């Protein structure tokens, strides 16, 4: 490297001698990247060589002790007291170890103790009350409770029941459109007739009576004839005949009094 010139104006005219031409323009990529690569490698080598280890200091206590035998004299007691005060566990005065502690404590306790009052009670005589004597409920074999006499009520004789047909709607008629007064069924009701689910298609005349009854139940015409004759005696509302005159109803049997007190 050349020494720096004394005149600052000569810096631009004199060539600069450098190891690497950092400021001079270079047309070669290698000349530009070589200094950078060398600097990075030098920094990596220095970083790998220098190792700084920071660790907390560890204190180790020596595992040893000293055993001293002191004579049982005033000098030994003095050394023992000095050792206790110089160690981690300081010596302290224990009042219980003093010989005069027990009498002083007893005197203090008696002086502060309240005198116990002698309590004497006197019994007061109470009047004698007659006690309830046990009562014998009953002798052996007798009833404990009195005999109950049932209240005799007049027996009401109910009329003999009979099976009677009733109507229920199967179309948009509703229960309000069914007649309230039904004629009396004069035919004989046997088990087969009462157990069958009867369904009829009715055609009404202008006055509300049943002009035609067609059975929708699979059975013989003879078995359905008593119910068809009974339906011809049923009178519906004449407005139903004006709406079209065809109704679908079902018949079921219910138990009713035989004297006709419940015609429904």
Burial class (CB in 10 A: 0-12, 13-18, 19+), 257: middle
Rounded distance between C-alpha atoms, residue 50 and residue 149, angstroms: 122
- Whether 196 maps to a domain, the answer reads yes
Residue 22, pLDDT > 70, answer no
Given this model, what pLDDT does residue 239 score?
Answer: 82
If one counts the domains in the chain, the total is 2
Residue 264, pLDDT > 50, answer no
pTM over 0.75: no
- Whether 143 maps to a domain, the answer reads no
Residue 228's H or E segment, with its range, is: helix 221-232
Percent of the chain with pLDDT over 90: 0
Report yes or no: 168 and 250 within 8 Å, Cβ to Cβ: yes
Question: Whose CA is closest to 1, among 14, 17, 12?
Answer: 17
Mean pLDDT of the 224-229 span: 88
Residue 16, pLDDT > 60, answer no
- Which parts of 114-220 fold into alpha helices (H)? 191-195
Question: Confidence class of residue 1 from pLDDT cuts 50, 70 and 90?
Answer: very low
- Whether 109 maps to a domain, the answer reads no
DSSP helix/strand/coil, 92? coil
Cα end-to-end distance, the chain, whole Å: 139
Question: Confidence class of residue 54 from pLDDT cuts 50, 70 and 90?
Answer: low
The predicted-structure confidence for 193-223, as pLDDT tens digits, reads as follows 888 888 998 888 888 888 888 888 888 778 8
Residue 15, pLDDT > 60, answer no
- Whether 224 maps to a domain, the answer reads yes
Residue 240 DSSP one-character state: H
- Whether 15 maps to a domain, the answer reads yes
Which structural domain range is residue 36 located in?
Answer: 8-49
- Whether 32 maps to a domain, the answer reads yes
Rounded distance between C-alpha atoms, residue 185 and residue 194, angstroms: 13
Pick the residue with more confidence: 169 or 134? 169
- Whether 112 maps to a domain, the answer reads no
Residue 6, pLDDT > 70, answer no
Question: Confidence class of residue 158 from pLDDT cuts 50, 70 and 90?
Answer: low
Question: Confidence class of residue 2 from pLDDT cuts 50, 70 and 90?
Answer: very low
Residue 261 DSSP one-character state: S
């Amino acid at each position: 490297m050349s020494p720096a010139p004394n005149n600052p104006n000569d810096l631009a005219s004199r060539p600069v001698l450098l190891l690497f031409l950092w400021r001079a323009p270079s047309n070669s990529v290698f000349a530009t990247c070589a200094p950078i690569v060398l600097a990075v490698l030098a920094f990596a080598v220095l970083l790998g060589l220098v190792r700084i280890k920071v660790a907390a200091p560890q204190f180790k206590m020596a595992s040893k002790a000293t055993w001293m035998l002191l004579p049982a004299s005033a000098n030994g007691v003095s050394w023992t007291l000095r050792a206790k005060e110089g160690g981690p566990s300081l010596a302290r005065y224990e009042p219980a170890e003093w010989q005069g502690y027990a009498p002083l404590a007893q005197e203090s306790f008696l002086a502060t103790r309240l005198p116990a009052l002698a309590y004497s009670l006197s019994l007061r005589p109470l009047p004698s009350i007659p006690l309830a004597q046990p009562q014998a409920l009953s002798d052996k074999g007798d009833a404990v409770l009195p005999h109950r006499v049932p209240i005799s009520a007049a027996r009401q004789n109910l009329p003999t029941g009979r099976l009677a047909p009733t109507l229920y709607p199967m179309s948009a008629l509703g229960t309000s459109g069914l007649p309230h007064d039904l004629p009396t069924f004069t035919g004989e009701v046997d088990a087969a007739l009462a157990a069958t689910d009867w369904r009829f298609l009715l055609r009404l005349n202008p006055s509300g009576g049943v002009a035609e009854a067609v059975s929708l139940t699979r059975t013989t015409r003879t078995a359905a004839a008593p119910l068809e004759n009974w339906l011809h005696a049923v009178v519906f509302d004449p407005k139903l005949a004006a709406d079209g005159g065809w109704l679908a109803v079902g018949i079921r049997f219910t138990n009713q009094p035989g004297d006709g007190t419940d015609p429904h």
